[in-house]
Structure 1
């Protein structure tokens, strides 16, 4: 069932019935109610692909590598979007046995770029929009585990390298339409005292600082093509709207992970004490807080309000790790998708094949369907396709 078609059908019903109400002035109100909040960009729907997610290249022939079959299946199932969270060390030439240096940032490895070109080209072959994202940017990553010689939010040297890399990608794809390619600046920004310590104090990036970084990168990207589509992930690890950049013609990307008690239940990178977490329920109380659809709507309201101002909004990541009971996951995720879809906001599941995905997730509480040698979570796929 195609929810987008349903929305259009309902809109036409409203518009047709409205002729009889025109004298009372209620037609405009009915049309406004039927119109989704987000109309500035397409309501893209798809998946994150993790080929370039790690700063260390994937082994050749790895089972995790995206195949053309993956992209074909996405397209055949009605999806039209892939997001590539990438780590810049993948395409620079440096000695991996040594700490990376600021000078290394400018040593580009052409062979790595060509490999990424190949995935972009194959995705386009199957009608999929590609959104390039720096999961690890020069001077920042939401995850530690790789030494950064400077701080994107504090050091001009880091910002210069950041803009250099985005300018390179923008020039490489300078002739591509924004219907095919977009540039998602940096994954889940936050301000961390020590860029190389995962546990150092973290909080939102000051708005004026985020604006300075986003504006500089957007300028570098649009120097190659003024029509390039630029996206900025929400502040505070993707959760918060960035009002400071509303006038910069930059779309913004939210997340579909709230509450973390459901989306990241027992995930060791998200909770320090995974054995004593409250059991996830939907709706219900977890960690002393009650969550239901109404609270979820309040969580997304700032994003909906942003979209009503004419800013493009997309949910760049969403989903749930494998330890959450499947029925709880689907009940919660159905509400997430319904709220996003009602407001015209597309989404990208993290990921396609893997622990958050629809193929080979490794969940222990569902019956998989065999899909060309892969294990398919048919219930999750059906839920996604409904939206």
Structure 2
């Protein structure tokens, strides 16, 4: 059922209310229009570039069009929250004794922050205009970036993330699908031009071509989504990145227009801005959960996180940190033990490493393979 509003200025009223709630941008797209993004998704999955993210393939049919998510959708209200940092995130890569957590994960979980505001906007929409609706914040099989591009929030850049003229590459997205038949906004018509800074900066060369991503090579995927050991070829390229990677976002020249939102600012916790690897390596499960309470890092669990920390220790070049790695040779998790072995192989002299190998009893096949390198 299509519901037409009796107020011709409904889009302007919606934008005004969104601004009052702290959203930095709000625009509208036709949810029923043609959807070329489904073809790109099919190619992505067919080439296996989604890696272990099986949920992408499993929900591919629901992602093929916004109306496949909900056949009642007529308009998509797309909202953005700017989380542009007040510093250059790449500077933190220079201190190898400290870990680097992606900007978006240095504070409270943005899903919860944005979802609350979206629900407030949704409630206001129903009360003012009527009609059914559904709210999304990056947790359902709705392709939000193509919808945001259609609504004119920006365009998908060569790094496949959304780029905005006003906010650069730093926009969190939220969306409301509604039965309301609202006048859509024009697309932004933006372009990356000849710039390829995001492609060239990627440590693992995760972009096989402009506007294409191979998630299997992406540090964000490797440190967050991959459940097992990270392939050895990529470990040195991680540097001290222990959760996510901001490189391709940070170098986008459109970022010069971005500054952190004052209305719904995502405040970074001091202890997560540039935490010492020495402190992180000592986290047990309880301490891990306490440190990352209400934070997205908590979702990957202590073992996967310590795996990342140990790889960073191995990349630190500091033999003094070898003791920390050695302490994890008896960790209950094979994932952690394997990462500890790799770190030691990088920090100890070959003869010392071989001697240590003779002292350790290991039965897990994957960990034994780390010792055999």
Query: What TM-score bracket applies, with the shorter chain setting the length?
Result: under 0.3
Which one has a bigger Cα radius of gyration?
2
Q: Which has the higher contact order (CA 8 A, sep 6+)?
A: 2
Normalising by the residue count of structure 1, what TM-score does the alignment of the two structures yield? 0.21
Greater strand percent: which structure?
Answer: 1
Normalising by the residue count of structure 2, what TM-score does the alignment of the two structures yield? 0.22
